Amino acid sequence: MKLDVDVLRYLSKDDFRVLTAVEMGMRNHEIVPAELIDRIASLKHGGTYKVLKNLLKHKLLHHDSSKYDGFRLTYLGYDFLAIKTLVNRGVISSVGRKLGTGKESDIYEVAAEDGTVLAMKLHRLGRVSFRAVKSKRDYLRHRSSFNWLYLSRLAALKEFAFMKALEEHEFPVPNAVDCNRHCVIMSLVQGYPLVQVKELQNPETVFETVLGVIVRLAEHGLIHCDFNEFNIMIDDDEKVTVIDFPQMVSVSHRNAQMYFDRDVECIFKFFQKRFNLSFQVSTDDNEGSDADTDETGWPSFSSISKSSGFLDKELAASGFSRKDQEDIEKFIEEDIDDTDSDREESEDKQFVESTEANVKGLSSLHLEEQEEQTSNSDEDGVEVKQWSCEAGQDNRPEIQDDSDKEEDNQSAIENDAELNKSLNKQRKRAVAAARGGRRSFASRNSYKDKGGKSSQNSRIQKQLCSW
């Protein structure tokens, strides 16, 4: 969105009061209701809805009535609030032309009250060209919900803190002047981006200077993570200045070596292609090792001594503590679909194992009952033989009548029926315990699983029913 500051001079105190009320309401509302805006603004003579209409006309607010009637701030309205605050502080007095546009920010030329020309950087996270903030930046930490204006504010605060600290340690960075909301005021670098430079008087000296900045940052516990020709400014005297710091991480980050090698590789490749420097860039998996360092001068991340300072701990860069690192890893690498599938597989595995255990228990119980019956029948036979021997009768088995056989068969059938009934009850209890009280509902749209876990479960259930 184009920043038109001409509207700023025509806005009244009531307009800024309503804008501030919408900003305060967005702390816990995605869309702020009009009634809440009216209560927060508390205009003396009323007229909140008239002010909202005026702000909508200048595109400082956005009206949304999809769920309920409410408003939210646009980036232009957020810009006006930040600029108004900086003007009231006396930091800037005018806004000039646009200097550049990046994937996550816009740079404007501003002037102070004494006429000093400064640079104003407005962070605009969430634009179409850069919406992967959730995975590429650690502003969110452990939060699950976010707002683009809030993320832009965090990015500006982080960059201002890094510039202040690096300036104190005499790094070639712009001078940080002030910061408010998503706006950072810094000194204007009199130079050109290195990507626009075609020739250098001393390319070897500039290359060594740039590479020394990367190594010195690592010695102080920081890695730039976006150190390339677009973020390096150089003036007519070939003085180097580094810009753009919101993505910096600590040397204790889990991907610190990868980020360090990537920054070094970008510098090597650019100077080799643009200025034809005579060195070989290694693209193997073992780049950054001691062998590569000896042959090509490639700095090794493991050989750098991190004893010059602890800026990563002072500035709370990502990865400086184990707890923050674990929170970031959980937020970035957690895949809900994978966890759900793993949970279902574990549940199915537990169900199959418990069902098989219950089946084995039922079969062993059935065998034990059969063994008890056979042992009881054998003991009865032995007792009959002993009694017949004691009575002095013939040891040959007596021939029973057909009626006696029928009565024995009926009693055996009744015993088997009772045994099957008890086994069925125990089988149902075992299946219910294995399922954990869950009931299976067959769907009309369910597909046939050939060889999967569902077919294995159905096979076990069929075996239970057959028993």
Catalytic residue numbers, as ranges: 226
Please choose, from the candidates 388, 317, 361, 367, the residue with its C-alpha nearest in 3D space to the C-alpha of residue 464: 361
**Is 340 strand, coil or helix?**
helix
Buried/exposed 49-87: b ≥16 CB within 10 Å, e otherwise = eebbebbeebebbbeeeeeeebbbbbbbbbbbbbbbbbb
- 17 by Cβ neighbours in 10 Å (0-12 / 13-18 / 19+) ranks as middle
Distance, in Å, from the CA atom of 131 to the CA atom of 120, rounded to the nearest integer, reads 22
Distance, in Å, from the CA atom of 104 to the CA atom of 121, rounded to the nearest integer, reads 10
CB 61 within 8 A of CB 52: yes
Main-chain phi, psi angles of 193, to 5 degrees: -65, 145
Main-chain phi, psi angles of 130, to 5 degrees: -150, 85
Structure tokens belonging to residue 303: 């050989």
- 353 by Cβ neighbours in 10 Å (0-12 / 13-18 / 19+) ranks as exposed
**Is 30 strand, coil or helix?**
coil
Sign of CA dihedral 394, 396, 401, 405: positive
Structure tokens belonging to residue 442: 């067959």
- Cβ neighbors of 312 (< 8 A, separation 6 or more) are 221, 222, 249, 250, 251, 252, 319, 320
Sign of CA dihedral 84, 85, 89, 90: negative
